[in-house]
Amino acid sequence: MIFTKKTTSLRLSLQKTLSLLLGILMVLYSPINIFYLNTPIIGFIEIGISLYSFYCFWAATSGRVKTIQYYTLAGLTTFLIYFAAYHADIRGFSILWGLTLPIIYYIMFGSKQGFYFTLLALFPSLYVIFYHLPSDFFISYRAMTNYSLAHFFIWSLCHLYEKQHYQDKNQLHKMALNDALTGLKNRHALEKCFDKLEQHSAQANVLLVDIDFFKRVNDQFGHGIGDYVLVEVAECLQNHVDRNAVYRLGGEEFVIVLDKQSYQEAQHKAEEIRHAIEHYIFHNHDLRLRLTVSIGVACSSPGGRMNDALRLADTKLYQAKNAGRNAVYV
């Protein structure tokens, strides 16, 4: 479908622009067909489509657009192109407008539906060419071959562009939600997680994990070793909970969101993590390090804000720090 939560502003902008261009184009062509080419039926159809195109443009601009509107617009445009090509003199080359259909389909519907619609659009074009050219089979064959090659060329360009656009969008989405160093989800992803939990009024446990004396590691061994420690801690956390539940909040702080465990289970999991890291040896070449973490644990209230739970976990974390570190406070 076209309009989902994942619809990009770029595609919506392209759809609005296409609606406007189609409307203007139909307005320009309709008087030519009515008064000059003496094909009033085609002209009045163009007027109707132009009005509908302007309506789609208005709906998209005002935020009232619906999926069915662009399916209807694409269907009407396709019908007009083939209707005009079938009834007009073949020497006017009206059928060449069929080569714009792959562009229209891919802009409106993306790569998957655009692929199938473009494939189907080829057959009526070949039908019009074959039955409207002179009876010389060789001429019809050449015309159909050339048209098909042009159709496939434009089709390939549209498909390659859409695939590249999809890959770029996914890469940007990944960069926006993932921490570049550890590969964990970042603070932006955590906010989205909190929003989703709040929308469903779900309770969740928040574990705020902080590496003790991490600044000493950077100062004594350099930021390269510090980065290595962060990556290792991230992997250790993912080994004990669902990897999608772990977030890097920033610096040496990590957040774990557990929405399927009880508060007591979350406390046990926090103690398990603390114990595992305490006995973990961080080794890099000849370097051997032992580190500890402090963890604050809090649970959101029913229907409450998740950021309140995070602030409470932060308070518990500071209590663990003040009590000597390497501790879990609930």
**Average pLDDT, integer, range 41-64:** 91
> What percent of the chain has a predicted confidence (pLDDT) above 70?
95
Nearest-10 Cα torsion for 75, 81, 87, 91: -170
CA distance 330 to 206: 10
Q: Determine the average pLDDT of the residues in 93-99.
A: 89
In sequence order, the β-bridge partners of residue 15 are none
pLDDT of 166 strictly over 90: no
The model's pLDDT over 224-237, given as tens digits with 9 standing for 90+, comes to 999 999 999 999 99
- pLDDT of residue 32 exceeding 60: yes
The answer to whether the CB of 294 falls within 8 A of the CB of 327 is yes
For residue 18, pLDDT over 60 is answered with yes
The string of pLDDT tens digits covering residues 307-325 is 899 999 999 999 999 999 9
pLDDT at residue 49, rounded to an integer:
92
Residue-averaged pLDDT of the chain: 88
Residue 45 has pLDDT above 50, yes or no: yes
pLDDT surpassing 80 at residue 184: yes
Residue 182: pLDDT band by 50, 70, 90 thresholds?
A: very high
Identify the CA nearest to 244 among candidates 233, 227, 259, 229.
259
Confidence at residue 238, expressed as pLDDT on a 0 to 100 scale: 94
Average pLDDT over residues 191-206: 89
Q: Which residues pair with 288 in a beta bridge?
A: 283
pLDDT of res. 137: 60
The CA-atom distances, in angstroms, between 131 and each of 144, 221, 277 are 11, 80, 77
Quick count: other Cβ atoms within 10 Å of Cβ 48? 14
Residue 153 or residue 65, greater confidence:
153
Catalytic residues: 252
CB 292, CB 277: distance < 8 Å = yes
Single-letter residue type at 303: G
Domains of the chain, each with CATH number or no CATH: 9-177 (no CATH), 187-329 (3.30.70.270)
Burial of 121 (C-beta count, 10 Å sphere; 0-12/13-18/19+): buried
Query: How many helical (H) and strand (E) elements, i.e. helices and strands, does the chain have?
Result: 10, 7
Is the pLDDT at 90 greater than 80, yes or no?
no
Query: How far is residue 189's CA from residue 178's CA, in Å, rounded to a whole number?
Result: 7
Q: Quick check: 8 pLDDT over 60? A: no
pLDDT for residue 4 is more than 80 = no
More confident position, 286 or 79: 79
In this predicted structure, what is the pLDDT of residue 304? 77
pLDDT at 7: 47
- pLDDT value at 216 more than 70: yes
Who has greater pLDDT, 200 or 214?
214
Q: Is 201 helix (H, G, I), strand (E, B) or coil?
A: coil
Q: Is the pLDDT of residue 61 over 50?
A: yes
Which pLDDT score, from 0 to 100, does residue 136 have?
A: 63
Q: How many percent of the chain have pLDDT more than 90? A: 58
Q: With 80 as the cut, is the pLDDT of residue 2 above it? A: no
Tell if the pTM clears 0.75, that is, is over it. no
pLDDT, tens digit (0-9, with 9 covering 90-100), for 254-301:
999 998 889 999 999 999 999 999 999 988 777 889 999 999 999 988
pLDDT the model gives residue 100:
92
pLDDT tens-digit series, residues 202-214: 889 999 999 999 9
For range 181-195, the mean pLDDT: 91
